[in-house]
Amino acid sequence: MFYSKIKAVGAYVPEYTVTNDDLSKIVDTNDEWISSRSGIRRRHFSKGENTSDLAAKAAEVILKKAGVKAEDVELIVVASVSPDYATPSVSCLVQSKIGAVNAVAFDIGAACSGFVFGLSTADKFIKSGVYKNALVIGSEVLSKYLDFEDRGTCVLFGDGAGGAFLERSEEGGILSEDMGSDGARGLSLTSGFRNVVNPYCEGERFIHSYIEMDGREIFDFATRTVPKSVEALIEKAGISVEDIDIVVPHQANARIVQIVARKLKIPMEKFYLNMEEYGNTSSASIPIALNEMDNKGLIKKGDTVLITGFGAGLTWGSMLIKF
Ligand code: 4VN
């Protein structure tokens, strides 16, 4: 029986930052409203780099930190809800950009849970002996899906990419996971809808590109579901909350994290938050946070880290990782 272990984490975010004050010049909002309700103060927006460009740059950082050559990568999984194209996949574009000529590459669509779902998928390939390693990346250019006339959503999201290199190991690594989906509630957070129009099915073209969110619904979902998922995970792993050294939640909203922390009776000091700087970058938010912590020396070898993603689908996924 094999396990998978994270050998390196890395990230890349576009350089250009937009503050809440900057946004208040183009949409009816203000810094006080945004920061008090979400914890977000700035976000990075792409000035032209697309999702695969961010992902490829993150991949190069990850491989450099891991000391691994691109041609030795066996699997590339990219999680994204803002791909350059419907096809080819972001992962195939990344494969080409970094020269990972021997890798199998495919994408996963699980929104803000995408990085956790991607790690879980790669873990199964490694555990079963199919592949020895995998590059798992979350990458988003959400700015191209933002309606800058909707003050309820455009202030919340940002662009960026991050990921991890997983390798077969004698010991875990990825210790346990809890994932779930509730498609029945999926329409409370949507983007990129296109109806069917063709020569045999005529009608009006109806495209809903932009992110549309029932904020109250998603807020309630997150504060109810995440604590349950973490409790289920802890139970499966046979540990107690005190054994968790660090919690890295999806960086959607600081108030949600505070409610989750209170429900789980885990002190806020154990939670790492950086939505202040990046906003909500969906699938990229957890690996960007992991990379930042790694660069600051905040994750030590042997630490037990809990990551938890939750969002569109609706989907959620929590995972315990020993570094
Ligand atoms: C997970 C979550 C969110 C999210 C939901 C609601 C929300 C973020 C609504 C109330 C509003 C402040 C902002 Cl929990 C989004 C995603 C998508 O990635 C995933 N903010 N808010 C207010 O009026 O206080």
Over residues 66-81, the pLDDT tens digits come to 999 999 999 999 999 9
Residue 58 C-alpha to ligand 1 middle, in angstroms?
Answer: 26
Q: For 83-99, how does the pLDDT look when each residue is reduced to its tens digit (9 = 90+)?
A: 999 999 999 999 999 99
User: Quick one: tokens of 25?
Assistant: 């010049």
Q: Is the pLDDT of residue 172 over 90?
A: no
Please return the burial class of 198, using the count of CB atoms within 10 Å of its CB with bins 0-12, 13-18 and 19+. Answer: exposed
Task: Tell me the percentage of the chain whose pLDDT exceeds 90.
Answer: 99
Q: Is the pLDDT of residue 1 over 90?
A: no
Atom 7 (ligand 1): residue with closest C-alpha?
215
Catalytic residue among 50, 112, 253, 291: 112
Count of the separate structural domains present in the chain: 2
Tell me the residue range of the domain where 121 lies. 3-170
Residue 269 C-alpha to ligand 1 middle, in angstroms?
Answer: 22
Q: For 176-198, how does the pLDDT look when each residue is reduced to its tens digit (9 = 90+)?
A: 999 999 999 999 999 999 999 99
CATH of the domain at 7: 3.40.47.10
Cα distance between residue 243 and residue 265, in whole Å: 13
Q: In terms of domains, do 160 and 190 share one?
A: no
Q: Is the pLDDT of residue 281 over 90?
A: yes
Q: For 204-260, how does the pLDDT look when each residue is reduced to its tens digit (9 = 90+)?
A: 999 999 999 999 999 999 999 999 999 999 999 999 999 999 999 999 999 999 999
Atom 17 (ligand 1): residue with closest C-alpha?
311
Q: In terms of domains, do 200 and 223 share one?
A: yes
Contacts of 89 (CB under 8 A, 6+ apart): 78, 83, 105, 106, 107
Tell me whether residue 291 is one of the annotated catalytic residues: no
From 142, 170, 198, give the residue that closes a domain. Answer: 170
Q: In terms of domains, do 312 and 269 share one?
A: yes
Q: In terms of domains, do 154 and 231 share one?
A: no
Tell me whether residue 112 is one of the annotated catalytic residues: yes
From 143, 170, 197, give the residue that closes a domain. Answer: 170
Backbone dihedral region for residue 99 (phi beyond 0: left; psi -120 to 50: alpha; all else: beta): left
Pocket of ligand 1 (CB under 6 A): 37-38, 112, 156, 189, 215, 218-219, 222, 252-253, 256, 280, 282, 310-312
Burial of 142-153, coded b for 16+ CB within 10 Å and e otherwise, reads: bbbbbbeeebeb
Of 179, 87, 70, the closest CA to residue 135 belongs to 70
Q: Is 10 helix (H, G, I), strand (E, B) or coil?
A: strand
pTM of the model: 0.97
Of 181, 117, 145, the closest CA to residue 312 belongs to 181
Q: In terms of domains, do 157 and 16 share one?
A: yes
Q: For 109-124, how does the pLDDT look when each residue is reduced to its tens digit (9 = 90+)?
A: 999 999 999 999 999 9
Q: In terms of domains, do 22 and 85 share one?
A: yes
pLDDT of amino acid 130 = 97
